[in-house]
Chains A and B, each alone.
Chain A
Amino acid sequence: MTLTTIALQNLRRRKGRTAFLLFTFVLVSAIIVCLQALAVNLQADLQKSLTQYGANVIITPRSEHLALSYGGLAVPGLSYEIKTLDNSVLDIVTRNSGSGIQTRAPKVIGKINFQDKSLLVVGVDFASELKMKPWWKINGKQPQAREIVAGATVAKQNSLAAGSTMNLNGLSYSVAGIMQETGGSEDNVIFTDIPTARVLTENTDSWSMIELNSLRPDQTVLRLSELLPAAKVEAVSQLVQGTQESVDRFRNYALFASLILVLIGILIVAVTVTANVNNRAPEIGVFRAIGFRKEHILGLFLREILLLSLSGSIAGYVLGAIAPPLFGHLIFAKSFTFHLFPGLALLTIGASLLLASVAVAFPAWRAASLDSTEALRCI
């Protein structure tokens, strides 16, 4: 028999109170971890977008409409007033390659109908595109004329596989491959080569957008903006600024909500343990009478709360970490990947233990300070 045994038996046999406190620790830890995991995931997602585009530059038609989303970015577009970049834009870009442009990836993007659904078709030059996006992996082969590559979600929703066919605008197209899931907007589109895309979108001589990989993106933007007054030339970082602000706001909200939750958790634990001290005064009296010192009583209360805090925060961490991959898509309409977040795990468990100690400090001190005269009164 040790103080830990006594603490454990108390927790084991006072099930209602134990369950309530454990639930508090689990809930607070789970919500905090979930919020932080979501914030980290969103930041990582944004970081991935930034990394994907690096210091790239995007040239799009000047338009008031923001109806097309591609690559996690809003691209002016196609819904009402179709504006495009004419061939001269690509010529000007090609002539100014000296301003640090490494790769040019012009695209033809349009909407087509497939089985009463609208699909986005993206015509790309796979050679230059794969230079910029080496993470694109195709199960199958790159498409040739009259062939397409389906994004992962499109393929799944339409039961497509390499070798199957799609009837698009009255013509049959062979599925050359399926693009592996990227977690980005690539999953929701079909890719093809540029000539095929021109046929499908009936866009014969212009471009929807041009992506550039530039060594000096700011200079490239300045230079091309002067040369292309009819186009919008932006560094990707400018485009993601809004998203970053949203992520920052979410992070701040998550932090604020976490702090509030911690305070509520401390209050719940402190109030519950204080009430518990009052109820256990006779028991404390017996402990004191048979020779338990203050430190023993303090140790008992600390052990009880730390055992609960430890198990609650571990369970809460696991729940909080698995919640975004399981339920994140319901709120954010995007998939989240499971991360272990070892730092967050340690922080959650450590903070939980610390805050439990803070919450229990006053009531435990009160219990320990119950002198033998008071104890006697309780007995």
Chain B
Amino acid sequence: MSLIKVANVNKVLGNGDATVEVLKGINLNVAAGEFLALVGPSGSGKSTLLSILGGLNPPSKGTVLIDDIDVYSLSQERRADFRHEYIGFVFQQYHLIPYLTALENVMLPLAITALPAKHQKEKAHDVLKKVGLGDKRSRLPNQLSGGEQNRVAIARSIINEPPLIFADEPTGSLDSKTATELLELFQTLNRNGLTIIMVTHNKDNLDWVSRTICIRDGRLIDPPQVA
């Protein structure tokens, strides 16, 4: 059964004469438990599609259903609640909050829940341990390496136990060893039932995923042709 159903999604950027159609008639189904790679050349529209799937960027046309909920029929605030409940994001530049420690960054999604502080800490510590950073919980982001920051970002994305993880070029700025460790972590999470959609342009990453879809000039290419 599909967890994500995308139907006829178009995205036009700009206005007037200066418009660019970034996505053209995208149709896509993602089943629960898939580890999906979204590949394509720069400017092909893969990050835009990811942001649309993540409820961050309304499409110009078409619908996005996640768990049978029409994401863009929700108000902006309900969509925020929806993201909080359903989606964990791992951004390309990690985007940790610079003035919060690793532990506090991981706890961030819990700050708007009613979970008591003690439980929040315990849970965040457990998740940090799971990503191998139990001993670095008190460090600020600028005291962590790129790989460690990435792991903190992953811990932050899963603390709330969402069914979906969207990762935008998560290995983009990592060396191959750290990138492998990260993909192993993603694979473990996927085996534990999480659905993961990862934007990447690195062919090596595709060995780790269960399905690859390719996007070029705003259209999905079937069968996928990896650039």
In the complex, are the beta carbons of B108 and A289 less than 8 A apart?
A: no
Encoded as 1 (CB less than 8 Å from any A CB) or 0, chain B from 57 to 97 comes to 11000000000000000001101111111001101010101
Q: Which one of A2, A14, A291 has the greatest number of beta carbons of chain B within 10 Å?
A: A291
How many chain-B residues does the 8 Å CB contact rule pick out? 36
Q: Which of A1, A12, A14, A376 contacts B110 (CB 8 A)?
A: A1
> What would be 21 A-B contacts, judged by CB atoms less than 8 Å apart?
A1-B110, A1-B111, A1-B120, A5-B111, A6-B108, A12-B99, A288-B80, A290-B83, A290-B88, A290-B89, A290-B108, A290-B156, A291-B84, A291-B85, A292-B112, A294-B80, A296-B112, A371-B76, A376-B51, A379-B93, A379-B95
Smallest distance from the beta carbon of A372 to chain B beta carbons, Å? 4
**In the complex, what residues of B have CB within 8 A of residue A294's CB?**
76-77, 80
Encoded as 1 (CB less than 8 Å from any A CB) or 0, chain B from 96 to 138 comes to 0111100010011111100001001000000000000000000
In the complex, are the beta carbons of B80 and A293 less than 8 A apart?
A: yes
In the complex, are the beta carbons of B56 and A292 less than 8 A apart?
A: no
With A286-B91, A286-B95, A373-B56 already in contact, the answer to whether A2 and B111 are too (CB < 8 A) is: yes
Question: Is B54 part of the contact surface with A, judged by Cβ < 8 Å?
Answer: yes
Smallest distance from the beta carbon of A112 to chain B beta carbons, Å? 71
Quick one: which of A281-308 are within 8 Å of B by CB? 282-283, 285-294, 296
B100's nearest neighbour on chain A, judged by CB, is A9
In the complex, are the beta carbons of B55 and A372 less than 8 A apart?
A: yes
- The docked-state distance in angstroms from the alpha carbon of A13 to that of B104 is 13
**In the complex, what residues of A have CB within 8 A of residue B85's CB?**
291
Q: Which of B55, B57, B58, B104 contacts A9 (CB 8 A)?
A: B104
A interface, size bucket: 20 to 34
Q: Which of A1, A3, A10, A289 contacts B89 (CB 8 A)?
A: A289
**In the complex, what residues of A have CB within 8 A of residue B54's CB?**
289
Smallest distance from the beta carbon of A282 to chain B beta carbons, Å? 6
Q: Which of A2, A13, A292 contacts B80 (CB 8 A)?
A: A292
Quick one: which of A137-176 are within 8 Å of B by CB? none
- The docked-state distance in angstroms from the alpha carbon of A13 to that of B140 is 10
In the complex, are the beta carbons of A373 and B58 less than 8 A apart?
A: yes
**In the complex, what residues of B have CB within 8 A of residue A262's CB?**
none
Smallest distance from the beta carbon of A20 to chain B beta carbons, Å? 16
**In the complex, what residues of B have CB within 8 A of residue A292's CB?**
80, 84, 112
**In the complex, what residues of A have CB within 8 A of residue B107's CB?**
1
In the complex, are the beta carbons of B99 and A9 less than 8 A apart?
A: yes
Known contacts A294-B76, A372-B76; can you find 20 more A-B pairs with CB under 8 A?
A1-B104, A5-B111, A6-B104, A9-B104, A13-B98, A283-B97, A289-B54, A289-B91, A290-B108, A291-B80, A291-B82, A291-B83, A291-B85, A291-B160, A292-B80, A293-B81, A294-B80, A373-B58, A376-B57, A379-B91
In the complex, are the beta carbons of A372 and B89 less than 8 A apart?
A: no
Closest 7 CB pairs between A and B? A291-B84, A13-B99, A1-B107, A372-B56, A1-B111, A291-B83, A286-B95
**In the complex, what residues of B have CB within 8 A of residue A287's CB?**
108
- The docked-state distance in angstroms from the alpha carbon of A285 to that of B93 is 13
Smallest distance from the beta carbon of A277 to chain B beta carbons, Å? 15
**In the complex, what residues of A have CB within 8 A of residue B111's CB?**
1-3, 5-6
Q: Which one of A1, A12, A376 has the greatest number of beta carbons of chain B within 10 Å?
A: A1
